[in-house]
Amino acid sequence: MTLRERACQRVRSAGRDDGGALTLSYVVVLPVVFLFLMSVIQASFWFLARDAALAAARQGADAARAVGSSLTAGQSTALGFARQAGSGYLMNPSAAVRHSNATTISVTVAGRVPSFVPGLTVRVSETVQAPVEEFRS
């Protein structure tokens, strides 16, 4: 290879130096990918906590509306179910049972969703209404 050919090769390759371009693209892309993954995981926690709260409210409504049952039976059933079924997804559950009217029971289960995104606090609350059972002869 002659001196002239080497000089031409250096001039051609000098404009093509892309060393570090891949690193720069990772610096731009990876935070976006991580933010997306964190959002998907947080949405999954929210969905599971909401589902556990709804199931606990249904259990509490079934217990409270039975003939001869009390409101405290519905509340304790809802709390017990929320603690068992929502462990890890529904934190600090609470339940409230009341009569909406003379023939309807209302059970509300609320709690906090574990946070995967730092600084984010999400609460869920689900309410179920059901008719009070009665026997007519």
pTM of the model: 0.77
Handedness of CA 42, 127, 130, 73 (dihedral sign): positive
The per-residue pLDDT for range 84-100, each reduced to its tens digit, is: 988 888 999 999 999 87
Task: Indicate the domain borders of the chain.
Answer: 23-131
Query: pLDDT tens for residues 59-68?
Result: 999 999 988 8
The model's pLDDT over 45-59, given as tens digits with 9 standing for 90+, comes to: 999 999 999 999 999
Residues 27-51 have pLDDT tens digits of 888 999 998 999 899 999 999 999 9
How is the beta sheet containing 122-131 ordered, strand by strand? Answer: 91-101, 104-113, 122-131
Q: What is the pLDDT of residue 69?
A: 83
Q: Which parts of 1-137 fold into alpha helices (H)?
A: 3-14, 21-64, 71-85
**Which pLDDT value is given to residue 25?**
79
